[in-house]
Structure formats: C-alpha cells, structure tokens
Amino acid sequence: MAVDGDRVVAGAYLDDDNGSSSGSVYVFESDGEGGWVESKLVASDGAGSDQFGKAVSTAGDRIVVGAHLDDDAGSNSGSAYVFEPDGVGGWSETKLAVSGGAASDEFGAAVAVSGTRIAVGAHLDDDNGTDSGSASLFE
C-alpha cells in the first residue's frame, strides 16, 4: 500500500482479472467532499501468476506497480508499470523493462517513485552472485 496526499494505492496481487493471481491495484482518491473515488488498474498484458500489485508506490500523478512474477524475459523475470492520468479520467500505462533481465530475477519485487525518478528492485538478480539482487533507476 502507498499513500501520497489525497491518493491511496492498494495492491491486490492475487486478484484474478487477467488469470489466476494476475493481480490488480485499487486507487482511491479524495473527491474533495469527504468521499472517495475508486479506480482499478490492471496490466494491459497481464497474465496468470504475474502478481501485479505486490509492490506499489505513488508520488504526484504517478503510480508505479511491480509484477515480480511476470515472464517477459523468462520465468519470473518480473516487470514494472507506470500509470499516469490520461487527461480524460483514465490512466495511461508504460511498461518498464531492464536490459539483461533474466528468469527468476523478480524485477518489480520493490518499487519507489519520487518526482521523475523511479527505482525498481530485482531482489533475486544474479549479476553479482546468486540472488545478490539489483536495483534499476529510471528517469
């Protein structure tokens, strides 16, 4: 879960909208009158067992979501997504990838955003030894 100002972001990484345990994220924003407006985010390319939403972060108009078991670069290589308002009441999505990603890295196991900087952790990356981990910075 992440909070920034009048926005609360909660991951539901075992949600089944795109297959078993594909995951989703709920966004709650203040309506300015004591109530809350709810949005639900899912990965446009989500699949079963991705666990989209296991890690979330928000700052300003950005929401970053990890899907640490996504399989784009091999089984459980992981991925992360950035969501920003699209100007018409919805969210635009950008998928982050890291060069050299490999199976079992679990890129997206941790995410953080501050201003224009986004950090994504791959806690099982093997670049400096078995499961030594790594972090990637995006701007």
**61 — alpha (psi -120 to 50), left (phi > 0) or beta?**
alpha
Tens of pLDDT along 66-103? 999 999 999 999 999 999 999 998 999 999 988 889 99
- Average predicted confidence (pLDDT) for the chain: 96
In this prediction, residues 41-69 reach a mean pLDDT of: 98
Predicted local distance difference test score (pLDDT) of residue 10: 98
Whether the predicted pLDDT of 137 surpasses 90: yes
pLDDT(136) > 90: yes
Question: What's the average model confidence in pLDDT over 49-59?
Answer: 98
92 bridge partner residues = 84
* Number of independent structural domains in the chain: 1
| pTM for this predicted structure | 0.96
User: Is the pLDDT reported for residue 59 higher than 90?
Assistant: yes
| Residue 44 DSSP code | T
- In sequence order, the 6+-apart residues with CB closer than 8 A to the CB of 57 are 2, 9, 63, 64, 111, 112, 113
Range of the domain at 7: 2-138
